[in-house]
Structure 1
Amino acid sequence: MTDVVIRPLVAGEESLFDSMPDPLPELRQVAYADGVAGGGYRPERTWVALRGGRVVGRAAWLLPPGAAGAPWLERFDLAAEPEVGAAMLRAAHEAFGGPVPYHAALPAHWRRRPEVLAVVEPPMAAARLAGLAERGERLRCSWTGTPLPASSGRYTFRPPAGTAEIDALVARVARPDVLTGMEIAKAVAGVDLATDPLAWLGGSLEAWRVVLDAGEPVGLAGTAGDACYPLFAYLGVLDEAARPELLAEAVRVLDEGGAREVVADVDAHRVAVVADLERSGFRRLRSRVRFEPAPAGSVPD
């Protein structure tokens, strides 16, 4: 790490972050300048590694104004050895009072693309060296007007009778299939979207659909048409066969409200759910690999 200077930015140096070329321009991300303007990014939570005066590593931790939780690493690019990136993360963690999570945004199908792997493997290796451990991958998928599958006629749909019905059905769903924005809900408001979606989405019953089989509720979906993107926020089923039709019904709700794109987040290992999304016309936009502070005493990979 000869001649490497690692430090946070100071006010007025924001353009230094953007002096490093974006290695993955295909990713849809909030621009750093827009994040600073909105208050989520701050100079003191933005660190750079400079070699010969040139930025070879940059890391920006995000915390929306008014958030209840701690910042997380949202942008991390590295054009140097993983050890340089690890040193930058360790210095920042020390300033923050301890390590914090890293949400690594990656292009869709990134493992199949050698040119992408060459970009993303160094910062991920640096995260591991800095004491962060991989804890799962989530996919963001997008529907942009593809014709929806026709209903089989087996299931019917209606808005919930009230918030009590939503709460009761959520309590019966052991593992929701779709949870979009769960990381933001947790960090900003301390809300677990899987168990208390109304605390994050609000109580508008028209944004929800209950699916019924012979009059019995077998699942529900919650949407949000006025978020940063129209999104499929929550989907949980008691009968997996109902999932494709509930997916289509929830998208129709947003489509009829004027949405031209709908986004949905799903755990990458939920293969059947991903397949149902893709059969409904969703396509993968990106992946997000979550790194969390490793337990004390563990050895980095």
Structure 2
Amino acid sequence: MTDLVIRPLVAGEEPLFDSMPDPLPQLRQVAYADGIAGGGYRPETTWVALRAGRVVGRAAWLLPPGAVGAPWLDRFDLDAEPEVGAALLRAAHEALDGPGLYYAAMPAHWRRRPEVLAVMEAPMAAARLAGLVERGERLRCSWTGTPLPATSGRYAFRPAAGPTEINALVARIAEPDVLTGAEIARAVGGVDLATDPLAWLPGSAGDWRVAEAAGEPVGLVGTAGDACYPLVVYLGLLDEAVRGELLAEAVRMLADGGAREVIADVDAHRVAVLAELERTGFRQLRTRVVFAPATEGPSVAEGTPASTDQQG
């Protein structure tokens, strides 16, 4: 690697990042130039590896303006051996006060797609060589107008009475099914979306629905119609049997407000939740494998930055 140059960009060099062809053009993400314009990407937190003046590795850390957390590695592409990528990451980590989270974004069903595996094998191997370990996987799913399942009539749905009721129900739900944008909530606002969603979703109680059976609450869902995309932000259950109908109620509420697409994030290991999303008409858009420094515990995978769009 004697001919290798590894360094951060300097102001005005932003086009150098885009001189490397996008290896996964089918992955929906914000262009680097737009990220620079929005302030989430910055030249000093963007690093490149060059051979003979050609970019063979690039890494961009993201931190939206006003965020309280540390930047995370949001874009990492490699057209070289993993050792080059590891050298790039180590140099950047040293300059950025140590390693942080890396969200390896890929199209959906990546394990069954040889063309995606061929692209991601080197950067993921480089991350491991640089001391990062896998801590989980998050799936982003999208509903785009598929007819919703009919309701059984077993449940009633009503707007939440207010913050007190929402917080009381959240406190009873140990592990929410859906947490969309949890990564951004944690990194930007320092908020744990699973335990304090109202700190991140400060809309009206009308954005929340309570599911009841025989007059007793059995589930809670919170939505956001005016975020980066219409979102099912929070879905938590006191009775798993209500999952499908409460999810459909959330989508119906957003669609009635004009949404043509609804986004929901789920941990890949939540097989039953994913199956219900698919029955409701959601389809997987992308996956994000979470890497973290080896010294950090597995909790960092909970709420992984929601997206390369710097919001969702």
TM-score, with normalisation over the residues of structure 1? 0.97
Instruction: State the Cα distance separating 1:203 from its structure 2 match.
Output: 4.1
CA distance in 2, matches of 1:153, 1:83: 59
Q: Deviations over 1:44-78 (max 9, x none)?
A: 00000001110000000000000000000000000
Please name the residue that 1:138 is paired with: 138
Kept after mapping to 2: 8 A contact 1:149/1:280: yes
Task: Please give the root-mean-square deviation of Cα atoms over the aligned residues, in Å.
Answer: 0.7
The equivalences for 1:1-301 within 5 A come to 1-295=1-295
Residue 126 of structure 1 aligns with an amino acid whose one-letter code is A
Name the CA distance, whole Å, in 2 between partners of 1:195 and 1:33: 35
* Deviation larger for 199-208 or 174-183: 199-208
Once the two structures are superposed, residues 87-138 of structure 1 have per-residue CA deviations (whole angstroms, 9 ceiling, x without a partner) of 0000000001111110110110000011110001110110111111100000
List runs of 5+ in structure 1 lacking aligned partners: 297-301
CA distance in 1 between counterparts of 2:212 and 2:2 reads 65
Instruction: Tell me, in whole angstroms, the C-alpha distance in 1 between the residues paired with 2:182 and 2:126.
Output: 25
In structure 1, C-alpha distance between the alignment counterparts of 2:252 and 2:207, rounded to whole Å: 11
Separation of aligned partners in 1, 2:22 and 2:126: 18
The CA distance in 1 between the partners of 2:164 and 2:18, in whole Å, is 48
Write the deviation string for residues 144-195 of structure 1: whole angstroms up to 9, x where unpaired: 0000000000001001111111001000001000000000000000000000
Q: What secondary structure sits across from 2:200 in the alignment?
A: helix
Matches of 1:219 and 1:139 in 2, distance apart? 22
3-state SS of 1:168 partner: helix
The CA deviation string for residues 280-300 of structure 1, in whole angstroms up to 9 with x for no partner, is 00000000111111128xxxx
Distance (whole Å) between structure 2 residues aligned to residue 126 and residue 189 of structure 1: 30
Q: Is the 8 A contact 1:163 1:203 kept in 2?
A: no
The amino acid of 2:153's aligned partner reads G
Q: Percent identity?
A: 81
User: What SS is found at the alignment partner of 1:222?
Assistant: strand
The total of aligned residue pairs comes to 296
Deviation beyond 2 Å, 4+ runs, structure 1: none
TM-score (norm 2): 0.94
d(CA) in 2 for partners of 1:233, 1:295: 30
Q: Which amino acid letter does the alignment assign opposite residue 224 of structure 1?
A: A
Distance 1:178 1:163 in 2: 19
Q: Which amino acid aligns with 1:130?
A: A
The 1-side partners of 2:109 and 2:218 are apart by 32
What residue ranges of structure 2 are gaps of 5+ in the alignment? 297-312
Matched residues in 2 for 1:69 and 1:224: separation? 23
Q: Secondary structure at the match of 1:68?
A: coil
Letter aligned with residue 134 of structure 1: E
User: Partners of 2:264 and 2:24 in 1: how far apart?
Assistant: 22
What amino acid is the match of 1:132? L
Q: Which amino acid aligns with 1:115?
A: E
SS in 2 for 1:201: coil
* Cα deviation, residue 2, structure 1: 3.5
